[in-house]
Amino acid sequence: MLYFLDIFGTLIFAISGAFKASRRELDILGALVLATATGVGGGIIRDMVLGATPPAAFHDESYLFVCLAGGVTVIFIAPRIARRWNMVMAADALGLGVFSAIGAAKAAAYGLGPMGTIMMAALTAVGGGVIRDVLVCEVPAVIRTDFYATAAILGGATFVALHACGVGQSWLLFATTITATGLRLLAMRFHLRLPKVRRLDESAIPNERD
Amino acid sequence: MLYFLDIFGTLIFAISGAFKASRRELDILGALVLATATGVGGGIIRDMVLGATPPAAFHDESYLFVCLAGGVTVIFIAPRIARRWNMVMAADALGLGVFSAIGAAKAAAYGLGPMGTIMMAALTAVGGGVIRDVLVCEVPAVIRTDFYATAAILGGATFVALHACGVGQSWLLFATTITATGLRLLAMRFHLRLPKVRRLDESAIPNERD
Amino acid sequence: MLYFLDIFGTLIFAISGAFKASRRELDILGALVLATATGVGGGIIRDMVLGATPPAAFHDESYLFVCLAGGVTVIFIAPRIARRWNMVMAADALGLGVFSAIGAAKAAAYGLGPMGTIMMAALTAVGGGVIRDVLVCEVPAVIRTDFYATAAILGGATFVALHACGVGQSWLLFATTITATGLRLLAMRFHLRLPKVRRLDESAIPNERD
């Protein structure tokens, strides 16, 4: 069950990632690269950080095939998908929840503490999108006007709290997914955003650190 | 023989990488950093993904010395090299072929499947250039108008196909290098490019995913 | 003692990192991400390269807490810190020295050669700042107009030279810190910069490598 949700989340992430290619005049390899980076990038970085190498995405190549499928889909029928964008975004929220649950569980299995576990939940969920944005030279949305990474972070915090209470693995994964996905859907529905940092005048910091 | 080609490819990649510094008003450390990133960056990321740490470039420091040599060469005689740019690009195509062959062989040795092996061939060949482009805030050419990564990918596919047929290691490396280098030279000669992704209107995706 | 300097350096790096958020209209998550990336990013990449996974910052979560504390401080009292910017920069120079010393020592412990050890000293000290700059789409200052990474490199070279002479670990760490911090303070005082690479005309390189 979790495996199918994970594959489904990878597909949706790949599709939403490949869309950037149609906004930035990339070529078809660009679309496939962004699809793959967004689909499996977060999990690959997480596994590299944890030392779980080669990363899971290379053990079971279904993930890579699903990324290519997502990219090819966008190359051929992008306009048709765009017309159902709200459905893509709802599915994306589910992917976000599943990815944070898997990230948190893997981090805990590798002995990370509460902070590390929460960070790995967020990294799994948003890492792929951050790589995609860096590749097309955009400041990642998650650090500009976010309620995306925040949902993953609160999902990870739920995992840590319930884990400390001795809740079993399936319930942990379920509760983390529900929390992160639910918060993301609420944020989309009510246009929630984190507050901005107060802007500082250029002259306030005479010589910024290199 | 492969070792010397590898060193030679690293030198050429380092030289072509350092040239970016003279286009972007960087300082001499910038030139050395871009030379090193382009020369050994792809192999280092590949080894980090595979878990072959510390990466090969640190086991035999000749690679790092060759990168510095490439950077210093560009700092001192960039205009003289620029006049022979076609020769640099031809040598670069050879480096591309050698790097994909080595990348594919290492991935196969670490047990990766066909897709993973092809990805590692491409990552070894273009990873350094992508790091270089990200460092100077440019969208990597390989995702914009490529027939560079594509040559490495087809080289990697050749490796996988012949490997499945039971071809021996030396022939595998030879065939992969010839395929990737040959395709790259053909692409340069005939100005081959991958097709672009159809551009989507801004209004097509009302609220893009974060 | 080294542990407290390391924590102190992490705090200062986190504070100087979070300041970017107030210059680039990021939200509060952005400030925390930049604080964490700048504070522990260099050490995390170093550990991933060396294969020392999970990285040290996850073994002792004090580092992550200190990063968050630095980020929260900037969110609440950025203007007050900006007024004492010279003190922040002096403390930052101390962090630079400590980070290069720790990076060099860890690289040597993992069997890296002289070049690798120097690179790891520099990567530990500037890696976090480079990640921060890449996330906000700026060309990292260390490759534009540097005497920051250069101080870390010369600190690392000091480590390598004294290590070869058989100097003991505590003196090695002390000498590396003093060298890198001292050079950085001198560079700030006398506005030292590395020379720029000669600029090449666009037409000099007809078809740049992808």
Q: In this structure, is residue B62 part of a structural domain? A: yes
Tell me if C55 and A48 make a contact (CB, 8 A cut-off): no
Q: What is the pLDDT of residues C77-109, one digit of tens each?
A: 988 999 898 899 999 999 999 999 999 999 999
Domain total for chain B? 1
Residue of C nearest to A109 (CA): C54
Q: In this structure, is residue C206 part of a structural domain? A: no
Tell me if A27 and B199 make a contact (CB, 8 A cut-off): no
Q: Chains touching chain A at 3 or more Cβ pairs under 8 angstroms? A: B, C
Domain that holds residue C82: 2-193
Cα of A88 to nearest chain C Cα, Å:
25
Q: In this structure, is residue A140 part of a structural domain? A: yes
Counting Cα atoms < 13 Å in the Cβ hemisphere of A98 gives 21
Tell me if C144 and B31 make a contact (CB, 8 A cut-off): no
| pLDDT score recorded for residue B123 | 97
* Three-point CA angle B40, B46, B49, nearest 5°: 140
Q: Does pLDDT of A135 surpass 70?
A: yes
| pLDDT score recorded for residue B204 | 64
Q: Does pLDDT of C11 surpass 60?
A: yes
- How far apart (Å, rounded) are the C-alpha atoms in residues A57 and A73? 20
- Cβ contacts of residue C126 below 8 Å, gap of 6+? C42, C140, C142, C148, C149, C152
| pLDDT score recorded for residue A7 | 95
Q: In this structure, is residue B209 part of a structural domain? A: no
Q: In this structure, is residue B150 part of a structural domain? A: yes
Q: Does pLDDT of C202 surpass 70?
A: no
| pLDDT score recorded for residue C5 | 93
Q: Is the peptide bond before B54 cis (omega within 30 degrees of 0)?
A: yes
Per-residue confidence in pLDDT tens, chain B, 210 aa: 789 999 999 999 999 999 988 888 899 999 999 999 999 999 999 999 999 999 999 999 999 999 999 999 999 998 899 989 889 999 999 999 999 999 999 999 999 999 999 999 999 999 999 999 999 999 998 998 888 999 999 999 999 999 999 999 999 999 999 999 999 999 999 999 999 988 876 666 655 555
| pLDDT score recorded for residue C152 | 97
Per-residue pLDDT, averaged over A91-115, amounts to 96
Confidence of residue C205 (pLDDT cuts 50, 70, 90): low
Confidence of residue A23 (pLDDT cuts 50, 70, 90): confident
Look at the block and give the residue holding tokens 């801004």: B202
Look at the block and give the residue holding tokens 């790092």: B64
Q: In this structure, is residue C201 part of a structural domain? A: no
Confidence of residue C145 (pLDDT cuts 50, 70, 90): confident
| pLDDT score recorded for residue B202 | 64
Per-residue pLDDT, averaged over C66-83, amounts to 93
- How far apart (Å, rounded) are the C-alpha atoms in residues B102 and B81? 27
Residue A202 gets which letter from DSSP? G
Q: Choose the weakest-confidence range: A25-39, A72-86, C131-145, C195-209.
A: C195-209
Percent of chain C with pLDDT over 90: 80
Interface residues on C facing B, Cβ-Cβ cutoff 8 A: 48-51, 110-116, 119, 130, 134, 137-140, 142-146, 149-150, 193-200, 202, 204-210
Q: Does pLDDT of A209 surpass 60?
A: no
Q: In this structure, is residue B114 part of a structural domain? A: yes
Strands (E), chain A: none
Tell me if C193 and B27 make a contact (CB, 8 A cut-off): yes
- How far apart (Å, rounded) are the C-alpha atoms in residues A207 and B184? 46
- How far apart (Å, rounded) are the C-alpha atoms in residues A177 and A183? 10
Cα of C155 to nearest chain A Cα, Å:
17
Which element (helix H / strand E) includes A199? none
Which residues sit opposite B27 in a β-bridge? C196
Q: Does pLDDT of C204 surpass 70?
A: no
Confidence of residue A156 (pLDDT cuts 50, 70, 90): very high
Q: Using CB atoms, which residue from B30, B53, B135 is nearest to C51? A: B53
Q: In this structure, is residue A205 part of a structural domain? A: no
